[in-house]
Structure 1
Amino acid sequence: MTTKRAQPDACSLLDADHRNVKKMFAAYEELTKSRAASARDKRRDLAMQICMELTVHAQIEEEIFYPAARAAIKETDLLDEAEVEHAGAKDLIAQIQEAAEVDDMFDAKVKVLGEYIDHHVKEERNELFPKARAARKLDLVAMRDELAARKEELMAEMSVMA
């Protein structure tokens, strides 16, 4: 017996991003326990990777997923909250990217960003994604392909700029 969720959809793709970045935050946390000079460089590199992943993820949600969900879901308060959370995350990302030193404040900003993202992910996974999947007007399987293509395009652009 197959279920409607057997085929990966837009929510599956976004949630895979969530899981990937959660692993990166955990790896960062492990690096903060090391006092080796090389750990400082690794922390900066990993923090920049986290920032890039989150920037691209937020952009594809804002360009593709949120507008489609807003058109298909009656209660848009979750989408309003998600956009406010994105704005807060973007501010922290900018602070991390602009930081001159990898010090205790840098680590604190990465940690708070991780907590912010964790909260955001829980709301999307537990509230927004089920509503999106229940909305008849959303073709989340087709949207997955659109999100994947845009993500690939943005990652390529960011890699060139890095």
Structure 2
Amino acid sequence: MAPSGKRQDRPADALALLRHEHDRIRQLFAQFERLRDIEDEDERKAELVDEICYELALHAIVEDELFYPLLRAAAEDDEMMDEAEVEHAGVRELVSQLEVMYPGDDHFEATVAVLAEEVEHHVAIEETDMFDTARSSGIDLAALGRKMQARRRELDEDLNEAPDVIDAMEPHAGMRLPPRVPD
């Protein structure tokens, strides 16, 4: 099961689904921020970071596989889509850094803060420019939403059945990964 437990059914429209996921991720960052300077909350901070990373990874995979290709084909705005893909790569890099960090490590809280800022910037563009483009593109957003929900469930189930398949998405059952050997 995903770190947040059983999920309620989500809205079927693709944009409503994405907005719902964005709101969930914002809530997780806000929870972390409330604990940021509290030293005896390291275990909860680690749990929140694992959940944030898990949610971001699933969200990005679904967008990259389903939402972005349709939008790119319909939008005629390669620059917007290229920037979104580069932003996803940046998020993946920060997630991979956080996988080997522990609360109390140098730059742990700063890395979470930078990730939150990058995600908020990305979400702001997505919820304005990209959503407007999607609405005006003629994409069947209800059908896309159903596909996105199904893919998200599939990924969630796959990860819970075979947690070693995609390391960057594994919530680590409350345990941080051992630090990587420096290059």
Using structure 1 for the length normalisation, give the TM-score: 0.89
1:41-64 CA-to-partner distances (Å, cap 9, x unmatched) read: 110111000000000000000000
Counterpart in 2 of 1:148? 149
User: Given residue 146 of structure 2, which amino acid in structure 1 is its aligned partner?
Assistant: D
Query: 76-85 vs 102-111, which deviates more?
Result: 102-111
CA contact under 8 A between 2:12 and 2:146: conserved in structure 1?
no
State how far apart, in whole Å, the 2-side matches of 1:16 and 1:66 are: 17
Equivalence map 1:67-146=2 (5 Å): 67-99=69-101, 101-103=102-104, 104-136=106-138, 138-146=139-147
Aligned residue number for residue 28 of structure 1: 32
Name structure 1 gaps, 5 residues minimum.
1-6
* AA aligned opposite 2:93: D
Runs of 4+ in 1 over 3 A off after TM superposition: none
Letter in 1 for 2:68: Y
Residues 92 and 113 in structure 1, CA contact (< 8 A), matched pair in contact too: yes
Please give the alpha-carbon distance, in whole angstroms, between the structure 1 residues aligned to 2:35 and 2:158: 28
Q: CA RMSD in A?
A: 1.3
SS at match of 1:102: coil
**Structure 2: where are the runs of 5+ without partners?**
1-10, 164-171, 173-183
Q: Is the 8 A contact 2:91 2:119 kept in 1?
A: yes
Structure in which a larger fraction of residues adopt helix: 1
Contact 1:73 1:135 in 2 (8 A): yes
Partners of 1:82 and 1:35 in 2: how far apart? 35
Tell me the residue number matched to 2:66: 64
- What's the offset of the Cα at 1:8? 4.9
In structure 1, the residue corresponding to 2:87 is in which secondary structure?
helix
Q: Which of 20, 41, 44 lines up with 1:42 in the alignment?
A: 44
Pairwise CA distance, 1:11? 1.1
Partner Cα separation in structure 1 for residue 159 and residue 12 of structure 2: 26
Q: Which residue of 2 aligns with 1:12?
A: 16
Say how many residue pairs are matched: 152
Identity %: 37
